[in-house]
Amino acid sequence: MMMNPSLKNLSKISSGTIIEGKWHHNRYTIIKQLGFGANGIVYLARHDSKQVALKMSDNGMSVTSEVNVLKAFAKVQGSALGPSLLDVDDWETSEGKVSFYVMEFIKGPDFLSFLKQKGPDWTGVMVLQLLADLQLLHDNGWVFGDLKPENLIVTGPPARIRCIDVGGTTMQGRSIKEFTEYFDRGYWGLGSRKAEPRYDLFAVAMIMINTAFPQRFTKKSGGLEEIMEKVKQSPELTRYEKIISYALSGKFLSANEMRMEIIQVHLPDAPSRSNRQQKTAKQPPFPRQPARSPVKKAKSSTSVQTRKQFNKGKKKFAALETITIILVISLMYFFYIYSQIT
Amino acid sequence: MKTGTIRQILLITDGCSNQGEDPIAMAALAKEQGITVNVIGVMEHDVIDEQGMKEIEGLAMAGGGVSQIVYAQQLSQTVQMVTRKAMTQTLQGVVNKEIQQILGGGRTVEDLPPEQRGEVMEVIDELGETVELDVLILVDTSASMKQKLPTVKEALLDLSLSLNARSGDNHFSVFVFPGKRKDVEKLLDWTPKLESLTSIFAKLTTGGITPTGPALREALPYFDKKRSLRSFLNRDDESFFEESV
């Protein structure tokens, strides 16, 4: 293992220090430290009179890994969720080499502080923005993974949700790279850690819950009931109760489905009813109703069942077909052998 | 590129060994056999002695693995993080060796320009997802661990959840030390799933001394037991092919 300066030493870089890249020779002047985590330290720095965020780590490969993700983000057209990548380089110090990358500086309060300032009216809007970005990310074959309020920043005005830590972003079908227990469905016993869109939707629902419970409740034995119990205690979350329950149990198949339902919640109830039905007639993924109507729910589950039964029937038919063919052929073969012998 | 199987020992303990061979020497021995030793030190409230900490770090260093000291509450997240980190480290080692052969002059991935490094990292990511992983879990059940065992169980189930989301195969086995009669006792033989642990863990009794060194020494051959079984199967396959050709 090569000797690199430790994370502790890297966290003590004083303002005014100039960091020059070994490969691309860009110079960055450190202004102040922005954050400190297990994977590295983020500094605010100046480059050509512009402010940038510079992240360095004692682990070169973790820098490389994050850079790969940021590059993937850059390919997602129209999404502004992650910070844009500006430079990747090595800084040669007297103690050894430090890998770093430079990204756009995203300025603003974090998600929970923003909502505390502005009030719960903004929860829906922010979640809608987040879901739209997630849909784009999912469409491109990725899953965000480590979604949590600390990683979300609201810039603006106009208010726009952005994400500052993309370290958990994982290719779909792989296992989630990084996660935080409270926002992880595996921790709550509600699913695997395989990267798929529904993993992120679970985390979004937990973020919504976190807005009403800033202290975050602790897990007792896990399970949907336990979380929904808490949700029911919060007046802010009543309107989202059904949506949260669906997202937690993996019933939304895409971010768009969840998004549509949140939009429904925010529509004025009486006037645009016919309008609404027209709109949703195209994609009815969610039994749309003004809360608690067991009939509709039952209906949706039976429709799933009938589909299953239909599939079963299909399978049965196929098996029967196979057996018949085998029987007929073996019968013919038997006669052939018989005729050969005699 | 063939990487074979990644073999790790995960030692979960709360302090210092106090009997038998030098555990650090045993960790070094494991490393020589291509087995990484990772150590997690579980503490209750800031009570971990200096000496214990030194031993934990020393073990991981000698065993080519990762060490981490945590409060019992954060154990789950740490166990999976340490296992993953160690796996990536091992894979990096393998890839580095290949790269050194290609580039020559003792150059490693870190000496490549950042752009090419990214491509190498993608290969490592891919390998980390698909490589076969054997983890032998060694749990300290000396008297002081009594309170922490339920958390250890949770953490191990959580580990199984995390690793089984990979597409590569996993095999786990669980040993506790001190054992009833011997230094180390087998709780669970090689299995892809750790769920069966729940019932066994409830019956565990704690007590006695902490023979970390002997426990490591006795656990090492179990990797070969697994391998010999597989090579036996493989040999069978080969002979079958020979006959049929």
Task: Residue A168: name the closest of A157, A179, A182 by CA.
Answer: A179
A17's CB contacts (< 8 A; 6+ apart) are A29, A30
Select the more confidently predicted residue: B184 or B107.
B184
Does A71 carry a binding-site annotation? no
Least confident of A271-280, B89-98, B165-174: A271-280
Contact A192 B117 (CB under 8 A): no
Q: Is the Cβ of B166 closer than 8 Å to some Cβ of chain A? A: yes
A175's CB contacts (< 8 A; 6+ apart) are A193, A194, A195, B129, B162, B163, B165, B166
Q: What is the CA radius of gyration of chain B?
A: 19
Report the gap between the CA of B231 and the closest CA in chain A (Å).
29
Instruction: Give the CATH superfamily of A111-279.
Output: Transferase(Phosphotransferase) domain 1 (1.10.510.10)
Q: How far apart are CA B200 and CA B191, in angstroms?
A: 14
Least confident of A104-108, A175-179, B178-182: B178-182
Is the pLDDT assigned to residue B170 strictly greater than 80? yes
What integer pLDDT is reported at residue A132 of this predicted model? 92
Can you say whether the dihedral through the CA atoms of A243, B154, A39, A14 is positive or negative?
Answer: positive
Q: How far apart are CA A145 and CA B25, in angstroms?
A: 39
Q: Is the Cβ of B158 closer than 8 Å to some Cβ of chain A? A: yes
Is the pLDDT assigned to residue A113 strictly greater than 70? yes
Q: Is the Cβ of A90 closer than 8 Å to some Cβ of chain B? A: yes
Q: Is the Cβ of A23 closer than 8 Å to some Cβ of chain B? A: yes
Q: Which two tokens stand for residue B79?
A: 């166990």
Chain A residues with CB under 8 Å of B133 CB are: none
What phi, psi does A288 have (nearest 5°)? -90, 120
Task: Residue B26: name the closest of B50, B56, B62 by CA.
Answer: B62
Reported as a single tens digit per residue, the pLDDT across A33-68 is 988 876 788 999 999 889 999 999 877 788 888 898
Reported as a single tens digit per residue, the pLDDT across B201-225 is 777 778 878 888 888 888 888 888 7
What integer pLDDT is reported at residue A258 of this predicted model? 93
**Which pLDDT band holds residue A342 (cuts at 50, 70, 90)?**
confident
Q: Which amino acid is at A21?
A: G
Best mean pLDDT range from A202-211, A276-285, A310-319:
A202-211
Q: Is the Cβ of A221 closer than 8 Å to some Cβ of chain B? A: no
Chain B residues with CB under 8 Å of A146 CB are: none
Name the residue facing A175 among B114, B124, B166 (closest C-beta).
B166
CATH number for A7-104 (one of 3.40.50.2300, 3.30.200.20, 3.90.660.10, 1.10.3290.10): it is: 3.30.200.20
Taking one residue from A and the other from B, the number of pairs with CB-CB distance under 8 angstroms is: 64
Q: Is the Cβ of A276 closer than 8 Å to some Cβ of chain B? A: no
State how beta strands B35-43 and B5-13 pair: parallel
Contact A174 B158 (CB under 8 A): no
Contact A193 B161 (CB under 8 A): yes
Chain B residues with CB under 8 Å of A2 CB are: 108, 110
Chain A residues with CB under 8 Å of B167 CB are: 173-174
Buried b (16+ CB within 10 A) or exposed e, B172-199: bbbbbbbbeeebbbebbebeeebeebee
Is the pLDDT assigned to residue B234 strictly greater than 60? no
Q: How far apart are CA A194 and CA B167, in angstroms?
A: 9
Q: How far apart are CA A280 and CA A261, in angstroms?
A: 10
- Whether B79 and B158 have beta carbons less than 8 Å apart is answered as yes
Chain B residue with the nearest C-alpha to that of A221: B154
Reported as a single tens digit per residue, the pLDDT across A286-329 is 544 444 444 444 444 444 444 455 555 667 788 888 899 999 99
CATH number for B5-244 (one of 1.10.3720.10, 2.170.150.70, 3.40.50.410, 3.40.50.300): it is: 3.40.50.410
- Whether A166 and A214 have beta carbons less than 8 Å apart is answered as no
Chain B residues with CB under 8 Å of A181 CB are: 76-77
Mean pLDDT of chain A: 82
Task: Residue A21: name the closest of A73, A74, A78, A98 by CA.
Answer: A98
Q: Is the Cβ of A88 closer than 8 Å to some Cβ of chain B? A: yes
Three-state secondary-structure class, residue A242: helix
The answer to whether residue A200 is catalytic is no
Chain B residue with the nearest C-alpha to that of A38: B81
Is the pLDDT assigned to residue A135 strictly greater than 60? yes
Q: Which two tokens stand for residue B109?
A: 């991935």
Q: Is the Cβ of B96 closer than 8 Å to some Cβ of chain A? A: no
Is the pLDDT assigned to residue A209 strictly greater than 50? yes
Tell me what the mean pLDDT of segment A231-245 comes to: 89
Q: Is the Cβ of A80 closer than 8 Å to some Cβ of chain B? A: no
- Whether B88 and B124 have beta carbons less than 8 Å apart is answered as yes
Tell me what the mean pLDDT of segment B40-59 comes to: 79
A-contacting residues in B 21-50 (Cβ below 8 Å): none
Select the more confidently predicted residue: B11 or B205.
B11
Q: Distance from first CA to last CA of chain B, Å, rounded?
A: 28
Is the pLDDT assigned to residue B235 strictly greater than 50? no
Chain B residue with the nearest C-alpha to that of A61: B121
Q: Cβ atoms within 10 A of the Cβ of A190, count?
A: 16
Task: Residue B27: name the closest of B18, B16, B38, B19 by CA.
Answer: B38
Contact A97 B110 (CB under 8 A): yes
What integer pLDDT is reported at residue B65 of this predicted model? 87
Best mean pLDDT range from A202-211, B58-67, B74-83:
A202-211
What integer pLDDT is reported at residue B21 of this predicted model? 83
Question: What residues does each domain of chain A span?
Answer: 7-104, 111-279
Best mean pLDDT range from A244-258, A306-320, B184-198:
A244-258
Angle at A223 between CA A222 and CA A227, to 5 degrees: 85
Tell me what the mean pLDDT of segment B28-40 comes to: 89
Q: How far apart are CA B110 and CA B103, in angstroms?
A: 12
Which class for A81: exposed (0-12), middle (13-18), buried (19 or more C-beta within 10 A)?
A: buried
- Whether A197 and A255 have beta carbons less than 8 Å apart is answered as yes
Which residue out of A58, A89, A146, A200 is catalytically annotated? A146
The DSSP annotation for B202-230 comes to: HT----S---HHHHHHHHTHHHHHHHHHH
Question: What residues does each domain of chain B span?
Answer: 5-244
What integer pLDDT is reported at residue A127 of this predicted model? 92
Report the gap between the CA of B118 and the closest CA in chain A (Å).
5
Question: How many alpha carbons fall within 13 Å on the CB side of residue A202?
Answer: 30
Tell me what the mean pLDDT of segment B130-151 comes to: 86
Chain A residues with CB under 8 Å of B85 CB are: none
